[in-house]
């Protein structure tokens, strides 16, 4: 995180538990602003940037514009997602927003494929700030906008499932923050933004879940993050084969539990309605808010849609699916 931005947040009473976990001593309101310190940005520039990305990721780079961004994934040769990201076109360059913990890995793997291409990969996490805005009374107005619709005023603003994700340079981020506080917004922890991402079905990966799932298991096809017509990219053969063979055997669901401790990513899930105690799925990631744990889980699809789910080694805290 940029030191100037961090110092500014400290003057706004931010409490840094670590580099990415930030809390504020303010009560919850229906107008919230979030410093998204858990996300980073890779800038992909150069005359070959679009063609280079087209051969490495699941979404169609040629469909992006100044008003349309896209979720997507970078896969290994076996079609397993190394990371998911939000890709934003900004004039002649591309901004890849992804979990900060996976940024070095993705940067390194992309760099391996640059070869003779005229492409430059830059970690821009220190130059660009990511801010989230959530306002309940305006949420309905965002429903009519396509997911990841993008606008540009002083900053880049992306419709993020009833919320807005904003990309801004440090000076503009500080100005925006102050302006929004004057409008009644209250600072909130990035952990609560992750909670809202879960409710929105945004499938962020972690080190623990990287290379565990093909993109369809993360519902990226339903989110518009896979193109089946754009041509080859790393892992494309497996992703396409899964698509043309029909429905994937595992899918992602929003779920909740009364557990007081959020399960770690990649924790196993057991179905007690089955005859065995074999794992039928994994936790993608989880977050607790107001004594309720919401999570994204990837499960084997049940033909009867009947589950009795719990975490492995936990008989008490049951898991209830909120989406089917």
Concatenated DSSP letters of 195-224: HHHHHHT-----TTTTTSS-GGGGTTTTTT
Rounded percentage of the chain residues whose pLDDT exceeds 70:
94
Q: What is the pLDDT of residues 31-64, one digit of tens each?
A: 999 999 999 999 999 999 999 999 999 999 999 9
- pLDDT band (50, 70, 90) for residue 324: low
- pLDDT of the residue at 232: 92
- Start-end of CATH 2.40.30.160 domains in the chain: 215-321
Average per-residue pLDDT in the chain?
91
Distances (CA, A) of 81 to 24, 123, 210, 250: 34, 20, 6, 14
- pLDDT of the residue at 162: 80
CATH assignment of 215-321, among 3.65.10.10, 3.40.640.10, 2.40.30.160, 3.10.180.10:
2.40.30.160
- pLDDT of the residue at 84: 98
- pLDDT of the residue at 276: 66
- pLDDT of the residue at 32: 94
* 3-state helix, strand and coil shares in percent for the chain, rounded to the nearest 5: 25, 35, 40
Residue 142 pLDDT greater than 70, yes or no: no
- Start-end of CATH 3.30.1360.120 domains in the chain: 1-189
- pLDDT of the residue at 316: 72
CATH assignment of 1-189, among 3.40.50.1100, 3.40.50.300, 3.40.47.10, 3.30.1360.120:
3.30.1360.120
Q: What is the pLDDT of residues 181-240, one digit of tens each?
A: 999 999 999 999 999 999 999 999 999 999 999 999 999 999 999 999 988 999 999 999
- Collapsing DSSP to helix, strand or coil, 54 comes out as helix
- pLDDT of the residue at 14: 93
- pLDDT of the residue at 304: 65
- pLDDT of the residue at 289: 87
* Lowest-confidence region among 162-166, 226-230, 295-299, 302-306: 302-306
- pLDDT band (50, 70, 90) for residue 86: very high
Cβ atoms 205, 199 nearer than 8 A: no
- pLDDT of the residue at 80: 96
Please state whether beta strands 318-321 and 15-16 pair in parallel, antiparallel, or not at all (unpaired): unpaired
């Amino acid at each position: 995180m940029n030191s100037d931005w961090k110092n500014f947040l400290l003057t706004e009473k931010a409490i840094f538990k670590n580099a990415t976990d930030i809390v504020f001593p303010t009560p919850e309101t229906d107008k919230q602003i979030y410093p998204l310190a858990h996300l980073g940005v890779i800038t992909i520039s150069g005359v070959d940037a679009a063609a280079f990305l087209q051969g490495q990721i699941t979404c169609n780079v040629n469909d992006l514009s100044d008003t349309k961004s896209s979720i997507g994934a970078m896969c290994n040769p076996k079609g397993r997602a190394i990371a998911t990201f939000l890709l934003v076109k900004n004039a002649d360059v591309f901004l890849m927003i992804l979990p900060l913990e996976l940024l070095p890995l993705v940067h390194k793997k992309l760099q391996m494929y640059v070869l003779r291409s005229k492409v430059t990969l830059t970690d821009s996490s220190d130059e660009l700030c990511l801010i989230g805005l959530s306002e309940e009374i305006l949420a309905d107005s965002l429903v009519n906008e396509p997911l990841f619709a993008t606008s540009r005023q002083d900053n880049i603003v992306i419709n993020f499932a009833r919320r807005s994700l904003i990309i801004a340079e440090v000076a503009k981020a500080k100005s925006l923050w102050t302006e929004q506080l004057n409008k009644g917004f209250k600072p909130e922890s990035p952990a609560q933004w992750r909670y809202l991402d879960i409710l929105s079905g945004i499938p962020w990966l972690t080190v623990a879940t990287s290379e565990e799932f093909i993109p369809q298991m993360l519902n990226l096809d339903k989110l518009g993050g896979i193109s089946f017509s754009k041509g080859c990219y790393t892992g494309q053969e497996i992703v396409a084969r899964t698509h043309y063979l029909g429905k994937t055997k595992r899918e992602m669901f929003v779920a909740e539990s009364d557990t007081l401790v959020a399960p770690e990513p990649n924790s196993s899930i057991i179905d007690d309605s089955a005859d065995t105690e074999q794992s039928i799925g994994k936790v993608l990631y989880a977050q607790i808010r107001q004594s309720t744990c919401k999570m994204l889980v990837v499960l084997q699809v049940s033909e009867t849609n009947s589950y009795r789910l719990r975490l492995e080694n936990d008989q008490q805290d049951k898991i209830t699916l909120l989406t089917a």
